[in-house]
Amino acid sequence: MKIELHMIQNFAPSCLNRDDTNSPKDCVFGGVRRARISSQCIKRAIRRDFREAELIPAANLGHRTKRLAEEVAKRLAEGARDRATALTAAQVAIGGLGLGIKDNGQTEYLLFLGESGVETLVSLCEDNWETLAVVAAKRKQAEEEGSKKTAKQAKKAAEEAVPDDIKKSAREVLDGTKAVDLALFGRMLADRPGDNIDAACQVAHAISTHKVEMEMDFFTAVDDLKPNEEDAGAGMMGVIGYNSACFYRYALIDLDQLVGNLGGDRELALRAVQAFLRASATAIPTGKQNTFAAHNPPDFILAGARSKAAPLSLANAFAKPARPSRQADLTQVSVDQMKDYWDRAAAVYGAGDGMKGPFFCGLTKPAEPNGWKDVGSLDALIAAVMQAVNGEA
C-alpha cells in the first residue's frame, strides 16, 4: 500500500532554500522559471519537526553526522572514561567497521544511523575498553613518533588490530531497524553497500504553480555608535534575493517498504506515517526566516491510501502556469487546476482506482470537489488516512 500526499502552500516573500549564489533555488518547468524548494530541504525540516515537536521518540530517530567518534567519546567521558582515550578508542572501533576516518577524527562522509546505533557503539567501547585502549595507545604513539606516512600506516594497522569479535559486534551500529527517519529517507554507504537502506518515502522538489521572477532586496544597517558629525552613510550595505511563490508539494510513502525497513514493526511504521503527515503540513524550512518570517501553513492538503495502480504526481497540472483572476486568487486557481488534472487522469488512466479517499482539508477548497472528501481539519485528515491504511474506512 502507498500513501500519497499533495499540498498547495503559498509563501509570503522569503528565501527558504538558497543555491550557491545565495539566491532562492529555482528551475524551468513548463517553459517558464519557477521557484523551487529542494526535497533535501523539505526532508530536513520534517526530520527536525519529528524531534522538536516530539512526534517520534528520540530513541527512534537517527543522526546524520561526521562526528560520530566525538559523540561516542562525549558519552564515554560522562561515564568517567578519559576523554582523549575515549576519542581514539571510538575512532579505532569505527575504523574496524571499515569506515574511513580522516586525520581530524571525523568520518570521510556523513553517516546516517539511528540513536540505537550510537548507543551500541558506546556500549561496545565500554565492554571492550581495555582492548581498544591498548590499540588506541599504540596508534597514538606511532602517530606522534612517525612521519605522516607512518601515521597513516599506524592508523590502518590499528584498525586491522581490532579483534574480529569486536568488528562483528560493531556491525550492529549500522542497524537502522528502529530509526524512523532512516527507514523513511534511506541511507547509502559507499564503503559498506550491504548496509544501504532503500528509502520508503519519495519527496518531490516543491515547485511554484506559476511563473516567478527573482526579486532583490537592497538593505542597509546603521552603526548605532556612529557620531552624528560623521558622514550619514550606513555601517554596511548588501543585497538579498527572495521571491514569493505558491508551491505544489508531493510525497509518497511505500508502507510495505517502511515496515520492512523497521524490521517488521508495523506499529512503529504506522506511527511514522502519522508523524510524516503531520510534519509535512507543519514543518517549514528555516532559511532566512529571521529576515522574512514566512510562517505560512499549507492552503490545501490532499491525501489518500492507494492499494493498486501507479502513484500519481499532479505536477503536470501546472505545466500551464496558474494565473490569478478577479474571481479567484492564486491558491484557488492552483487547487482547481489540480482537481481538473486529477479528473482527466482518472478518466484516461483510472487515477482513483484502488484509492481510499482521497481526503482533503485546507483554507482553500476546490470549486468542484466531486470524488474528493472534505474532512475539515488536519487532525481529521490524518485520522482518515490512518483508518484507510488500517482497512477501516
Tell me: do 205 and 165 sit in the same domain. Answer: no
Q: Does 161 lie in the same domain as 101?
A: yes
57 plus 160 within the same structural domain: no
135 and 253 housed in the same domain: no
- Note the pLDDT tens digit of each residue in 233-257: 788 888 889 999 999 999 999 999 9
Q: Give domain status of residue 229, yes or no.
A: no
- The answer to whether position 237 is within a domain reads no
> Are 258 and 372 found together in one domain?
yes
DSSP-derived secondary structure letter, 379: H
Average pLDDT over residues 172-180: 88
Residues of the chain with pLDDT > 70: what percent? 94
pTM: 0.90
Q: How confident is the model at residue 393 (pLDDT cuts 50, 70, 90)?
A: very low
Q: Where in 74-205 does DSSP place strands (E)?
A: 111-114, 201-203
Pairing assessment for the beta strands 206-208 and 215-221 based on DSSP bridges: unpaired
- The verdict on 49 and 120 lying in the same domain is no
- The count of domains in the chain is 2
Per-residue buried b or exposed e for 23-48, using 16+ beta carbons within 10 Å of the residue's own CB: bbbbeebbeebbbbbbbebbbbbbbb
What pLDDT, in 10s, does the model give residues 321-333? 999 999 999 999 9
For residue 183, being part of any structural domain is answered with no
Q: Do 123 and 41 share a domain, yes or no?
A: no
Tell me what the mean pLDDT of segment 186-202 comes to: 90
pLDDT tens-digit series, residues 213-230? 989 998 888 888 888 777
**Average pLDDT for 113-117:** 92
Assess if residue 385 is contained within a domain: yes
Are residues 251 and 385 located together in one domain of the fold? yes
Q: Does 90 share its domain with 204? A: no
For 139-154, the pLDDT digits (tens) are 777 666 665 555 566 5
Q: Which domain holds residue 138?
A: 64-178
Q: H-helix or E-strand containing 158? A: helix 148-161
Do 52 and 153 have their domain in common? no
- Vertex 56: Cα angle to 194 and 37 (nearest 5): 75
pLDDT at residue 363 greater than cutoff 90? yes
75 shares a domain with 52: no
Q: What is the pLDDT of residues 251-307, one digit of tens each?
A: 999 999 999 999 999 999 999 999 999 999 999 999 999 999 999 999 999 999 998
